[in-house]
Amino acid sequence: MEAYCMKCKTKREMKDAKAEFTAKGAPATRGICPVCGTTLFRMGSTPAHAGMTPPAKTGG
């Protein structure tokens, strides 16, 4: 999965991408930029989220 790297200022393929949910229960994916090592974060559901249970929603 690709995400925009703020440090490289271009889209990069995520290394070690992991599906997760935000505190409000929205699906997201977190990984590492293979070039500079910065954490990449992309919102949105992926096939990796299938079968995962989102946490109880918190906040507003």
pLDDT of residue 59: 63
Instruction: Report yes or no on whether pTM surpasses 0.85.
Output: no
| Confidence at residue 18, expressed as pLDDT on a 0 to 100 scale | 96
Contact call for residues 14 and 29 (beta carbons, < 8 A):
yes
Cα–Cα nearest to 30, from 11, 21, 10: 21
Q: Hey, where are the domains in the chain?
A: 2-49
Residue-wise pLDDT for 15-38, tens only, equals 999 999 998 889 999 999 999 999
pLDDT at 41: 97
Query: b/e string for 35-54 if b means 16 or more Cβ within 10 A?
Result: eeeeebebeeeeeebeeeee
Q: 3-class SS at 49?
A: helix
